[in-house]
Amino acid sequence: MTEPTPPAAPGHGGSVPAQPITLRVGEHGVSATGSLYERIGGAPTFDRLVRRFYEGVQQDDVIWPMYPAEDLEGAIWRLSAFLQQYWGGPGTYSEERGHPRLRMRHGPFRITSEARERWLLHMRTAVESLQLAPLDEAELWAYLDRAAHAMTNTFD
């Protein structure tokens, strides 16, 4: 006895239309494979990312002056908490600070294309240090790159 052959997708000799694969399910668009927050290790991974990022920023004469040296731990917490929330972790950032309003919060700083590229350089080093699975790294990096470009507010 032979197993029946499943119908082929259109264009492959069959007449039954292929069914779309849903990769996002559930409330808040959580991925079928879990949130990025869960997949990469949760809060400890985001904390490592942000601390590594700030190691580079502190050595950068272009962007370090934009950061609150007197409140570095606060800056680290804010960025880590924001990224955790964005990627499916706890909503602590919004509970404590309200809506992220990224463009408004970055408005007082002169963010040029040079500053953006320096930010991206340090963030790239931090992301690579995590040694994430390639698809997780690509997903995280795509967001960080878009966000950095969106924050650019000075075009000299």
18, part of any domain: no
- Count of the separate structural domains present in the chain: 1
- Given this model, what pLDDT does residue 32 score? 59
What residues have CB less than 8 Å from 84, skipping those under 6 apart? 37, 42, 43, 46, 90, 92, 93
Is position 32 within any domain?
no
Q: Is the pLDDT of residue 9 over 60?
A: no
The rounded distance, in Å, linking the Cα atoms of 1 and 137 is 47
- Higher per-residue pLDDT: 129 or 103: 129
26 occurs within a structural domain:
no
**pTM, 2 dp:** 0.78
Instruction: Tell me whether residue 23 is in a domain.
Output: no
- pLDDT one-digit tens code per residue, 23-51: 444 555 555 568 999 999 999 999 999 99
Flag whether 65 is in a domain. yes
Residue 46, domain CATH: 1.10.490.10
* CA separation for the pair 32, 129 (Å, rounded): 26
Q: Which pLDDT value is given to residue 53?
A: 98
Comparing CA positions, the residue from 122, 108, 102, 118 lying closest to residue 154 is: 108
**Whether the predicted pLDDT of 5 surpasses 80:** no
Asked, for residue 57, whether it belongs to a domain, the answer is yes
- What pLDDT is stored for residue 40 in this prediction? 97
Determine contact, residues 155/74, Cβ cutoff 8 Å. no
Q: Torsions phi, psi of 24, nearest 5?
A: -115, 130
pLDDT confidence of 22, banded at 50, 70, 90?
very low
Tabulate helix, strand, coil % of the chain (nearest 5).
55, 0, 40
The answer on pLDDT for 14 being more than 70 is: no
* Domain membership flag for residue 5: no
108 inside domain: yes
Domain containing 60: what range?
37-151
pLDDT of residue 156: 73
Q: What is the mean pLDDT of the chain?
A: 86
